[in-house]
Amino acid sequence: MSISCVIPIYGLNTGANAEFFEKLLSSLKTAVRCLGESFELIIVNDDRERLSAESIKDICSKYGFQDSLIYHENETNRGQAYSRNVGASLASGEYLHFIDQDDYISEGFYKSFINQQGKADLYIALPFFDKDGIIKKAYTRCLKKAYKNAKYICDLWYLLLSNIVYSPGQVLMSKCAFNSTGGFPVLVNRGADDFALFYKLVFGVENYHVKFIPESKFFYRIHSQQNSKLSSTNTSACEFLSQLKPIGLKQTVVYKQKTRKWAGWLSKLFYIIFFKRS
């Protein structure tokens, strides 16, 4: 199994962002030991006031990625979805791992995936929240059971009723499956590109095989601006769905739940049932 890890970066010269980024690289350094040369790190710099390429490469070299690093700079700030798509286009790995610059993974993250018998199109890890260094579960028993029982990604269609389907950092996805979706949609209202990608995987022509690997742990960092981000995600999801014509009952349910104000209670219900609050 060859893996390309795609990390869009922004604002590393301010606040604690650089510290979080280095923690991510530190977690990757340990996790990739089982992969040897079957791993590449792709950094897409989307910052107008960016650190220099030399500075980024020096940081990556500090954690042993000098030989496996592919570095790209966007000419202007284009957003995370655009940067993820650029990273995917540069990737040569069989599987893609999109992860945000401030999240991180467990030591055995990749090892647990490659030890599986048979291949899946998507591997899903167990999610956790990191809020100010305090680790909390990002799942309920219902969500864990849903992941465990799913054979195909379409089996998890009802999670689209929530904005938190999964974070891309929680998932290892075959490049073939990713390419079939056309990648992350680049929306005016940024914030729902992961929701939109999952939507296209769920309701696409092909049924993509999925495996839940609870031994692989993904840590999602919670920010103080989380509530405003959630509001942006709602707007972004509506923008994406407005471009589509729902086909069939399931797509219609998701469409109406997202675009009708009266259906907001359903989203709250799914948060309670499936997702731990940070």
Do residues 160 and 195 lie in contact, with contact meaning Cβ atoms separated by under 8 Å?
yes
pLDDT at residue number 231: 55
Tokens linked to 81: 């979805």
> What mean pLDDT value characterizes the chain?
88
pLDDT at residue number 229: 52
pLDDT at residue number 162: 77
Which structural domains are found in the chain, ordered by start? Answer: 1-104 (3.90.550.10), 116-278 (no CATH)
| pLDDT greater than 60 at residue 181 | yes
- Is the model more confident about 86 or about 47? 86
- pTM for the complete prediction? 0.92
pLDDT at residue number 172: 95
Tell me what the mean pLDDT of segment 194-216 comes to. Answer: 93
User: pLDDT of 19-43, one tens digit each?
Assistant: 999 999 999 999 999 998 999 999 9
Do residues 123 and 113 lie in contact, with contact meaning Cβ atoms separated by under 8 Å?
yes
Tell me what the mean pLDDT of segment 119-147 comes to. Answer: 91
DSSP state of 34: G
How many residues does the structure list for the chain?
278
Q: How many CB atoms lie within 10 A of CB 54?
A: 9
- From the number of C-beta atoms within 10 Å of its C-beta (0-12, 13-18, 19+), residue 82 rates as buried
**How far is residue 234's CA from residue 163's CA, in Å, rounded to a whole number?**
7
| pLDDT greater than 90 at residue 245 | no
Helix axes 264-274, 141-149, angle to 10 degrees: 90
**How far is residue 7's CA from residue 67's CA, in Å, rounded to a whole number?**
16
pLDDT at residue number 232: 67
- Is the model more confident about 130 or about 278? 130
With b meaning 16 or more CB within 10 Å and e meaning fewer, what string describes 196-205?
bbbbbbbbee
Helix axes 193-202, 226-242, angle to 10 degrees: 40
**How far is residue 233's CA from residue 163's CA, in Å, rounded to a whole number?**
7
User: pLDDT of 69-80, one tens digit each?
Assistant: 999 999 888 889
Tokens linked to 122: 């998507």
pLDDT at residue number 165: 60
- Is the model more confident about 233 or about 145? 145
- Nearest-CA neighbor of 29 among 42, 19, 39, 18? 39
pLDDT at residue number 268: 74
Tokens linked to 24: 């991510």
| pLDDT greater than 60 at residue 139 | yes
Q: What's the helix, strand, coil split of the chain in %, to 5?
A: 45, 20, 35
pLDDT at residue number 228: 43
pLDDT range class, residue 127, cuts 50, 70, 90: very high
pLDDT at residue number 227: 45
* Percentage of the chain lying above the pLDDT 90 cut: 58
